[in-house]
A and B are shown apart, each in its own frame.
Chain A
Amino acid sequence: KQEVTQIPAALSVPEGENLVLNCSFTDSAIYNLQWFRQDPGKGLTSLLLIQSSQREQTSGRLNASLDKSSGRSTLYIAASQPGDSATYLCAVIGTGTASKLTFGTGTRLQVTL
């Protein structure tokens, strides 16, 4: 059974800092990996999809990396802003027909002024 873990569980940084969020998964037989953000009381916003054949994917100040063989992904946020404060979730997409997601435990990020 796939298990996904995110470290740290919570993180507080001053505005302007670069930061890295970590995600690890136990079964490397994944289709792809998806990063989301969730604001309090809201749904999930998709940030990046990184395909299993890729090593990196970038969108603006966000960069996600994937090392499928070691079961790890990182989300790098450059020049953090208070608007980045949210919970960040990684999820692996399974290889079955339904492409089911297995979610990590999340990292709650607070960017302070």
Chain B
Amino acid sequence: SQTIHQWPATLVQPVGSPLSLECTVEGTSNPNLYWYRQAAGRGLQLLFYSVGIGQISSEVPQNLSASRPQDRQFILSSKKLLLSDSGFYLCAWSKGGGQPQHFGDGTRLSIL
């Protein structure tokens, strides 16, 4: 069966520090991968998606970037965090073609 792992679960970072969140999927190959952010009291916003290694699409202009160095690995990064980057970050995968998306447990990021 397929599983998705995200880490860390919780992160507290100072403003201006770098960020790296990692997501890996097991049990499938060539998945579509997605990063979402859920800000406090707000809905889920798609940040990035990838349909293959090295292919990254950005949905909103922001202070973040994403990379897919391996087929089942998706990384969310920032060089300098802003207060507005605080939120709950979720990684998801699907096989595409209208198939369901499956989510990780999320990373709660607090910026001080």
Q: Which 7 A-B pairs have the closest CB atoms?
A: A31-B98, A44-B103, A49-B100, A43-B105, A103-B44, A32-B98, A43-B103
Q: A32-B98, A41-B108, A43-B90 known; A106 and B43 CB under 8 Å?
A: yes
The reply to whether B51 and A46 form a contact with Cβ atoms under 8 Å apart is no
Chain B interface helix/strand/loop/mixed? strand
Number of chain B interface residues as a range: 20 to 34
Q: A43-B105, A93-B98 known; A101 and B46 CB under 8 Å?
A: yes
| Residues 39-73 of chain B, each 1 if its beta carbon lies under 8 Å from chain A, else 0 | 00001101001010000010000000000000000
Total interface residues on A, CB under 8 Å, equals: 26
Contacts of B97 in A (CB 8 A): 31, 99
| Residues 77-112 of chain B, each 1 if its beta carbon lies under 8 Å from chain A, else 0 | 000000000001010101011111111111010000
Total inter-chain residue pairs, C-beta < 8 Å: 62
CA distance A85 to B51 in the complex (A): 34
- Which of A43, A98, A99, A101 meets B57, CB within 8 Å? A98
- Which of A41, A91, A100 meets B49, CB within 8 Å? A100
- Which of B44, B88, B90, B98 meets A99, CB within 8 Å? B98
Contacts of A89 in B (CB 8 A): 44
- Which of A43, A99, A106 meets B94, CB within 8 Å? A99
Residue A105 interfacial (CB < 8 Å): yes
Contacts of B46 in A (CB 8 A): 100-101
Residue B32 interfacial (CB < 8 Å): yes
Contacts of B102 in A (CB 8 A): 46
- In this complex, which of B34, B92, B98, B104 has the most chain A Cβ atoms within 10 angstroms of its Cβ? B98
Contacts of A52 in B (CB 8 A): 98
CA distance A106 to B38 in the complex (A): 12
